[in-house]
């Protein structure tokens, strides 16, 4: 798993931006308006999201449209799948059972 993706998302404003962009590309100004934050803050957060490949830019005149890129989210999804055994309840119950009989042996 890429730590860059996680750090980028682990900031409340940036997470909000990502969730906003889920609905489609937006300009810097539109994001600032919708989230009630100042434009320089938005630009700075978008820079971080851009460097971590989470978004990409498309300039159009003097505006810049930002949109989500699929790769980092796909990677996160793949990483989570490696934990399937953990969130599979049956697996957990088996683990508990094995520990139980282990403890019985110790007595």
Partner DNA sequence: TTTATATATACCTTTACAAGTATATTCCTC
Partner DNA sequence: GAGGAATATACTTGTAAAGGTATATATAAA
- 42's CB contacts (< 8 A; 6+ apart) are 17, 28, 31, 32, 35
By a kind-dependent CB cut-off of 5 to 8 A, residue 86 interacts, out of DNA, its own copies, none, with: its own copies
Q: How far apart are CA 49 and CA 7, in angstroms?
A: 10
Token pair, residue 98, equals 């094995």
Q: Which of residues 25-64 bind its own copies (CB under 8 A)?
A: none
- Which residue among 38, 56, 70, 94 contacts its own copies (CB under 8 A)? 70
The contact set with DNA (CB under 7 A) reads 7, 11, 13, 27-30, 32, 37-48, 57, 61-64
């Amino acid at each position: 798993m890429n730590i860059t993706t996680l750090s980028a998302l682990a900031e409340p404003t940036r997470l909000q931006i990502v969730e906003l962009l889920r609905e489609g590309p937006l300009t810097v100004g539109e994001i600032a308006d919708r989230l009630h934050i100042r434009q320089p803050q938005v630009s700075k957060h978008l820079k971080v999201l851009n460097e971590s490949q989470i978004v990409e830019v498309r300039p159009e005149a003097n505006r810049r449209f930002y949109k989500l890129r699929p790769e980092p989210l796909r990677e996160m999804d793949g990483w989570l799948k490696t934990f399937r055994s953990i969130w599979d309840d049956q697996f957990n119950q088996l683990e508990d059972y094995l520990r139980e009989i282990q403890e019985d042996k110790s007595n």
